[in-house]
Chain A
């Protein structure tokens, strides 16, 4: 029964309205003037893929949640500081840098990195390489980016696994 089409207009047109949206746009839009690639309908091609990815995400995270319990230590007590006290893992790169210099490690370098990230598309002005992984014309920018990311990962790994009492260097094995 639901297969029946409705007998009335799906979107009633207001009688007083004499134009559609495209009529007030003087030129082709950014998307329409470059359309040559193969296109498919979002329904069902995109929507089914998106649903499948969501189900997969939910299943994987549920399995992880069934297998591994979230940590819960003793109740908080300001009288018993652990040694070392560590920030959440994603800030351990910062904490590692703070061990060398409080200002530069905690504020200066992270602040400059955020500014650099915000400015990146304005600094890298030469067009080309969009939509292509590791495009050869962008190798310099990619190496700088990967260098920064790699350094942060190494610092985070050191802070997470290689720092013991009084932030001394320890080997975890």
Chain B
């Protein structure tokens, strides 16, 4: 912990300066400037540091209950939901390179994905099936949490965040549904948004704001596109961060009481 261990820059590990020594230690310096632990931790202290000192791992505690790792405890559904979202972000960004959100161009771009873009069909397929999978997996995760009583105190708030995440997942899927601009997409959104107009007092206004007009047209396509690729993913990602943070703050996964 003392400061006298700090190595003076451009000396070799014996403390002697020299060009070759410096060159020799360069890879190690670069590695340890990025990672604070060795690639394969050798003892429990280093295993703890490997988790705590890594930006991507640090939302884990250094040690976890063995129980929470058993498949039966969660069926992996929360992670599966996250993974489908990650796949959707990656494939979605790649699709954005090809897609144009106008009624004139959108459908042609779908045909391009099928006929002219390398792996375009696979990209669109993977995005579409992952989206359906995410809706299902998030709902199954919601069911798992309720049926294991994991929504009860002290996890009430995280349960509510989870409900909002589920609704956002539906909205993300719904806004993406319009983008191919084929008959299936168009009429599904006509039907879906007409449900919004059944809301009392503000129903028609709500639908007007959603569509940017009285019917599904160019403005609606643009609005759904912006919601789908910018607004909703940012909100969802932020709330996912809050959701994970609260798991730790609420004491980890719900655990059975002592008998």
A residues apposed to B, CB below 8 Å: 1-13, 15, 29-31, 34, 36-47, 49-50, 53-54, 57-58, 61-62, 64-66, 68-78, 80-82, 85-91, 94-95, 98, 102-103, 106-107, 114, 117-118, 120-122, 124-125, 127-135, 138, 141-142, 145-146, 149
Tell me the complex Cα distance, A15–B4, Å.
13
Expressed in whole angstroms, the Cα–Cα distance for A34 and B257 within the complex equals 10
Those of B188-216 within 8 Å (CB) of chain A: 188, 190-192, 195-196, 198-200, 203, 215-216
Closest chain A residue to B122, Cβ basis: A65
Q: Which of A10, A37, A58, A103 contacts B37 (CB 8 A)?
A: A10
Whether A61 pairs with B51 at a CB distance below 8 angstroms is: no
Could you tell me if A88 and B36 are in contact, using CB atoms closer than 8 angstroms?
A: no
For the side of the interface on B, what is the size category?
35 or more
Beta-carbon nearest neighbor of B158 in chain A: A121
B133 contacts across to A, CB distance below 8 A? 61
For B199, the chain A residues whose CB sits under 8 A away are 106-107
CA A42 – CA B66 in complex, angstroms? 10
Given A41-B48, A68-B125, A130–B83 Cβ distance below 8 Å?
A: no
Asked whether B98 is an interface residue with its Cβ less than 8 Å from the other chain, the reply is no
Chain B interfacial positions (CB closer than 8 Å to A): 1, 3, 5-7, 13, 27-28, 31-32, 36-41, 44, 47-51, 53, 57, 60-67, 69, 72-73, 76, 79-80, 83-84, 86-87, 103, 107, 110, 114, 121-122, 124-130, 132-133, 135, 143, 146-156, 159-160, 163, 167, 170, 173-174, 177, 180-188, 190-192, 195-196, 198-200, 203, 215-216, 250-258
| Chain B residues with CB below 8 A from A44, complex form | 47
> Chain A's nearest CB lies how many Å from the CB of B112?
12
Q: Are A46 and B107 in contact (CB under 8 A)?
A: no
B86 and chain A: residue at smallest CB distance = A54
- Residue in contact with B129 in the complex, picked from A65, A98, A118, CB distance below 8 Å: A65
Bound: A15/B203 CA distance, A: 62
**Separation in Å of the A40 CB from the closest CB of chain B?**
5
Partner of A41, one of B32, B63, B183: B63
A102 to B205, CA, bound (A): 17
Given contacts A58-B83, A106-B198, A145-B147, contact A88 B173 (CB under 8 A): yes
Q: 19 A-B contacts, Cβ less than 8 Å apart?
A: A4-B13, A5-B38, A7-B5, A10-B36, A15-B3, A29-B251, A40-B63, A41-B47, A42-B60, A45-B64, A46-B60, A72-B110, A81-B187, A88-B188, A106-B199, A118-B160, A121-B151, A130-B150, A142-B147
